[in-house]
Chain A
């Protein structure tokens, strides 16, 4: 179980994982030894996952980012599995979520430009199995992108 000290540590760590451990420990109000010991324990327990590099796709020439919200034909018993199995190998797919709601699946897709997007849409997305309906949201600005937990 996590206590308040663990939560303070995680709050500081997720806010600035690249800061020196001694600074973060001071901000959390613990010694460096406690900081290291508790983070090690939370890593072992799987509460704290790996540090991941954040990749800026725009810097790699991917100017277009689109959320595609897909409704599936649920009369097909394997609609979700078939759809996900076919969507997964598309290299430009960054995220796949399934939902309980009006939308069944979301695909986060990147493309180099609108021409590239259009060809992906027609050749890779519209050809995926069991699609009943699809609508697309074109990302125009990232207002907040921290993905922090409100600890």
Chain B
């Protein structure tokens, strides 16, 4: 496991908000030279801490007004092939994330849809039709906050 100092944490905090900035620009805000900043970013990348970049699109303005978190219980455990289920659920375009979990459900899904009737279509035609899908619990997202986590 990699050890971080305060400057590493500042770099991660800054890149988590805006990863488009150059090493030079980032270094200037931290009072660090461009090569020193670049070396730190390289070390964090090689340690697997920085795992690429992601663009955040405004889902609502692109016509996706509804986000739903689903808990899915598998039916008839032992008779369900997990890999088949995982492959089929991952292939649904509206399904953004799939987590295998331990608890009252077996899988946790994040699903986007245009509106509630579009979500109902995805749920009935795609998700309930998955091989092995049993009980489903749907919760419609009203608000969401993402935090920077323990980088402070």
In the complex, chain B residues whose CB is within 8 Å of the CB of A97: 69, 141-145
Among A99, A146, A149, contact of B97 (Cβ-Cβ < 8 Å) = A146
Can you show 18 pairs from A to B with CB atoms below 8 A apart?
A: A14-B55, A49-B58, A50-B17, A51-B20, A52-B19, A52-B55, A54-B51, A54-B52, A56-B51, A59-B1, A91-B149, A97-B144, A103-B137, A137-B71, A137-B101, A140-B101, A144-B97, A147-B97
A32 within 8 A of B: no
A-contact bits for B133-152, CB 8 A (1 contact / 0 none): 00001111111111101111
Q: B112 contacts A50, CB within 8 Å?
A: no
Query: Is the pair B59, A149 in contact by a Cβ cutoff of 8 Å?
Result: yes
A48 CA to B18 CA in the complex, in Å?
A: 13
Cβ A141 vs Cβ B146 within 8 A: no
Which residue in chain A gives the minimum CB-CB distance to B55?
A17
A15 and B25 CA atoms in complex are apart in Å by 26
Q: Judge if A35 is at the interface, Cβ distance under 8 Å.
A: no
Distance in angstroms from A98 CB to nearest chain B CB is 5
Taking A2-B62, A60-B2 as contacts, is the C-beta distance between A96 and B139 under 8 angstroms?
Answer: no
**B1-38 near A? 1/0 per residue, CB < 8 Å:** 11010000000100111111000000000000000000
Which residues on the B side are within 8 Å of A102 (C-beta)?
A: 137, 139
Question: Which of A52, A103, A140 makes the CB contact (< 8 A) with B16?
Answer: A52
Given A48-B57, A51-B20, A55-B12, answer yes or no on A143-B98 (Cβ-Cβ < 8 Å).
yes
**A136 at the A/B interface (Cβ < 8 Å)?**
yes
Q: Which parts of A93-148 form the interface with B (CB within 8 Å)?
A: 93-103, 106, 110, 135-148
- Per the bound structure, the CA–CA distance linking A96 and B103 in Å amounts to 19
Q: Pick from A57, A60, A99 the residue with the most CB of B within 10 Å.
A: A60
A33 within 8 A of partner (CB) = no
B139 contact set on A, CB distance < 8 A: 99-103, 106
Q: How many residues of A contact B (CB 8 A)?
A: 58
Interface residues of B in 98-113 (CB under 8 A from A): 98-105, 107-108, 110, 112
Contact at B142–A98, with CB atoms within 8 Å?
yes
Residue B77 is within 8 A (CB to CB) of chain A in the complex: no
Q: Report whether B48 and A135 are in contact in the complex, using a CB–CB cutoff of 8 Å.
A: no
Within 8 A of B (CB), among A42-98: 45-57, 59-62, 67, 84, 88, 91-98
Task: Determine the residue in chain A with the shortest Cβ distance to B64.
Answer: A149
The smallest beta-carbon distance between B63 and chain A, in angstroms, is 8
Of chain B, the residue at the smallest CB distance from A58 is: B48
- B54 at interface by CB-CB < 8 Å: yes
Residues in B with CB closer than 8 Å to A50 are 17-20, 55-56
B102 touches A137 (CB 8 A): yes
